[in-house]
Amino acid sequence: MRTRVKICGLTRPDEALQACQLGADAIGLVFYEKSPRAVSIDQAHAIRRVLPAWVCCVGLFVNSSAKTIHDTANAVGLSHIQLHGDEPPSLAQGLCHPVIKAIRVPADLTQDSKGLSEVTEVIQAWKSIAQALLFDADSAGFGGSGNSFDWGLLPALTKGLGNGWVLSGGLNPDNVEQAVVALRPPCVDVSSGVEQERQGILHKGRKDLRKMEVFLQAVALADAT
């Protein structure tokens, strides 16, 4: 099965269109005001208008109310909702869009960590409600940190999820091929790993065309392995 690719944190229509033309299956728009990648309704609508009909448009929310999510999804034309905060499962049950729930995995979590049971409890609470679970490194900014976690935990964490999970956190053009070959995730999600870099500093919210191209090529190569 081909690995799907979601590119998140887009803020400009031209870069979103470039991502689609390179082969991205989904793009992510951030509706979390504290994020440097946050977009307004008008910005999001402009991006949504340029997307091909077959590309998913995912809206990322952090601890927003059901009404805010519903109103934003309808105004923009979102296809999926990604919940990246501490939302209760009951919130998803009232939404009219497929839900992707982010599972934040601490960077120092190991098979022997006491915190492993807490992550497992969150997975159990959400796995029958969300369409997919997205595994990302825990961070103060609720994602987009570029940090990773111990991918060796994933076989146990994803057991029983079938194709309903996404690998995120710390992926970039240099390591995504290795990750896909080793873990065979149904989908990978990238944000900071394909952003523009100026003098060693990421320009958050601006995507690098070449990085996106190499990232997608690496995924395709892994699929062919």
- What distance, in Å, lies between the first and last C-alpha atoms of the chain? 12
Kindly list the distances between the CA atom of residue 65 and the CA atoms of 2, 60, 61, 86, 90, in Å, as whole numbers in the listed order.
Answer: 35, 13, 9, 12, 12
Task: Check 8, 20, 57, 187 and give the catalytic one.
Answer: 8
User: Is residue 71 annotated as part of the catalytic site, yes or no?
Assistant: no
In DSSP notation, the chain reads -PPEEEEE----HHHHHHHHHHT-SEEEEE--TTSTTB--HHHHHHHHHHS-TTSEEEEEESS--HHHHHHHHHHHT-SEEEE-SS--HHHHHT-SS-EEEEEEE-TT--TT-TTHHHHHHHHHHHTTTSSEEEEEE--TTSS-S-----GGGHHHHTTT-TT-EEE-SS--TTTHHHHHHHH--SEEEESGGGEEEETTEEEEEEE-HHHHHHHHHHHHHHHH-
Is the CB of residue 126 less than 8 Å from the CB of residue 101? yes
User: Is residue 20 annotated as part of the catalytic site, yes or no?
Assistant: no
Task: Check 20, 57, 136, 189 and give the catalytic one.
Answer: 136
> Distance (Å, rounded) from C-alpha 113 to C-alpha 97?
35
Which residues are catalytic, by number?
Answer: 8, 136
